[in-house]
Chain A
Amino acid sequence: MELGRRSMLGAFAVSTLGAAMPRMGRAQAANTIRIGVMNDQSGTYKDNTGPGSVACARQAIEEFGAQGFNVELIAADHQNKPDVGVNLARQWYDQGIDMILDIPTSSVGLAVQNVAKEKNKIAINVGSATSDLTGAQCSPSGLHWAYDTYQLARTTGGATVKAGGDTWFFITADYAFGHALERDTGDFVKAAGGRILGAVRTPFPGTTDFSSFLVQAQATRAKVIGFANAGSDTINCIKQAAEFGITRRGTKLAALLMFITDVHSIGLEQGQGLVCSETFYWDLNDRTRAFTRRVLPKMPNLYPNMIHAGCYSATLHYLKTVKDMGVAAAKAATGTDIVNRMKAMPTEDDAFGAGTIRQDGRKLHPAYLLEVKSPAESKAPWDYFKVLQTTPAGEAFRPLNQGNCALVRS
């Protein structure tokens, strides 16, 4: 049933797009940069990406202002399905979309990056987690902006072991993303002198009750329970861990991928004390607060997380590059050419501060180890995190020579 409905919706999205595109005049095309935001507009990751990403990209376009060329933005739902994403990407590139942005869900992100590579067009991935985007499957016309599995594992896993959490048990979503996150985190734990006492693979999707797994984890007497899952799975794990008194008995919980939008849904009462990692938090400094204030009126009742902020930052840097090249040259250039220019220019924006893009397509910025505040500590709406530790840009991501990216060897 699910399949039928979703593919029908996909076909609808694609057909309406097809109908809408030719009406844009040919004459203005040469002077217009077109950006397509492709993400989950209706499913599990809607709040983590979705309309928030579109709002932030729009904010970047607005702030960039009129610089002698027009910028158009369109958005569509890939429904977290690689086939829908690939079809949409082909259609968009053929119809003159210059850059595709966001592309969450690792399987879709990798598939769309491959289409972009084949057509030599730009794909800037903000929402996916897999570090393969800049590793074995890296692309000369692709960039990976906000975060990745290696950085999450390093920041959250490494720091937790240092803080004394040296025995781990994993509750892992039973698919590629969960396995990768468990493996990467396990490596850091072992490297830091910790031990893995066990792991349980939970069916994905379709698990709502995690209490059995939590009780199994507790029975091993591990000091840390690591959640290698995302979205509602993580939320349910945390709520149920609080219910079963697991944190009260001194066991630490490590949410390996959690966004501020998830914390909002868990609530501080049950979420307090949790440790997680993001590369952006709205209350970090004056610049992040100023950015958040500007974009909030456009946001769908959410504060921006690192994916949303990443869409802002990536759009801004892309437009600066286009201006630098001249719009006519940028329209004529291949994706690889533009991406090379983007890599050569340092990045600068309110959300992430100063940054750079590495040869393999990895955008570099600091990563923050965050702890969820208690209800008493939280003074304002969305005042959810305190920053425990900052990993500098140079150390937060996988070393360039360890990713097996072909662009690095050449």
Chain B
Amino acid sequence: MDEIFGIPAPLLFGQLLLGLINGAFYAMLSLGLAVIFGLLNIINFTHGAQFMMGAFAAWMLLAWAGLGYWWALVLAPIIVGFTGIILEKLFISRLYKLDHLYGLLLTLGLGLIIEGVFRNQFGSSGLPYRIPAELSGAWDLGFMYMPIYRGWVVVAALFFCISTWLIIEKTRLGAYLRAATERAELVQAFGINVPRMITLTYGAGVALAAVAGVLAAPIYSVNPQMGSNLIIVVFAVVVIGGMGSILGSIITGFGLGIVEGLTKVFYPEASATVIFVIMAIVLLARPAGLFGRA
């Protein structure tokens, strides 16, 4: 049992674990997208830029205000979420009655503008951000060296994913939200301020992206392109999971992270494409996605 398919078992376990960690990012980002799409019917292509803004907010808080990682984890989502609310009020709210395509074009454009502004301001090669002292170091698992911070990322991502799912599925607020997606006029007639609820939902979805950005800052280079590298994969995750399905996006996020991790062992050259191959197959077999309602 030392080898599985010609790959030493310890190496394979290591890759499974790493895949799970990457899956954590996919899950958090696709969750935000699913929430926004589910309630606003907007395909939020600004999501990658907002992920990047989260990482930059963490860097700015440290460099300009001296506030460390834990503060960033609380403040960055609030700040970036607030910018999301402004965007929603100013631009996105005007598009709810139009075709999806308009929302897609607007958010894509906004994303490119935000990315360009950051690149102009901070350059393209990125800024350093250190792992917080409490989480630096690593565990020796025998089959691999496991950085404590990566373990923390998985735990934190699971926490945020499950909380979001619970809020939407199990609370009164979540019930209002779900009701508003089905019959907005009816919910409004019961005295609930639907436009405000939608604005706050967008802010929350954006805040989730920012949290992922803060989590990513110590691992990846904090640079303006960091979001656009991830976002296309994350969209594929959302499509595979089923547009708008909260639980679907969480499970697919982690699952595809593992699939990608395994591809990196068996055929590294295909690791960037394997998710899209799966997407094509899923779309052929189940056009609504694995967890979507047709």
**A residues near B, CB below 8 A?**
1, 5, 42-48, 50, 174, 200-203, 205-209, 211-213, 215-216, 218-219, 231-232, 235-236, 239-240, 243-246, 249, 261-262, 264-267, 269-270, 300-302
Contacts and interface: CB of A to CB of B under 8 A. Distances in A.
B220 A203 contact: no
B116 interface: yes
B220 A44 contact: no
Given A45-B124, A212-B261, A244-B138, A203 B272 contact: yes
Chain B interface bracket (under 10, 10 to 19, 20 to 34, 35 or more): 35 or more
Interface string B1-42: 000000010110011001101100000000000000000000
B128 interface: yes
Name the 3 nearest CB pairs between A and B, nearest first: A267-B128, A203-B272, A212-B264
A200 B147 contact: no
A42 B119 contact: yes
Contacts of B56: none
Interface stretch (B87-95, B159-167, B190-198, B225-233): B225-233
B268 A200 contact: yes
B106 to A, nearest CB: 13
A265 B223 contact: yes
Interface string B248-261: 00000000000001
Given A213-B268, A216-B11, A239-B221, A261 B273 contact: no
Interface of B: 8, 10-11, 14-15, 18-19, 21-22, 108, 112, 116, 119, 123-128, 130-131, 138, 144-145, 147, 149-150, 219-221, 223, 225-226, 229-230, 261, 264-265, 268-273
Nearest to A219: B11
Contacts of A235: 125-126, 221
Contact of B269 (A174, A215, A246): A174
Contacts of A218: 145
A208 B18 contact: no
B119 A301 contact: no
Contacts of B138: 243-245
Given A5-B112, A244-B138, A265 B265 contact: no
Nearest to A42: B119
Contacts of B272: 203, 206-207
Nearest to A171: B268
Nearest to B230: A208
Contact of B18 (A207, A212, A236): A212
B123 A300 contact: yes
A109 B221 CA distance: 27
A265 B220 CA distance: 11
Given A235-B125, A267-B128, 18 more contacts: A44-B124, A46-B124, A50-B124, A201-B268, A207-B272, A209-B220, A212-B15, A215-B18, A216-B11, A219-B8, A219-B10, A231-B125, A232-B125, A239-B221, A243-B131, A245-B138, A266-B221, A301-B123
Contacts of B10: 219
Which of A42, A43, A243 has the most chain B CB atoms inside 10 A of its CB?
A243
Which of B124, B219, B269, B273 has the most chain A CB atoms inside 10 A of its CB?
B124
Nearest to B145: A245
Contacts of B116: 42
A45 B119 CA distance: 11
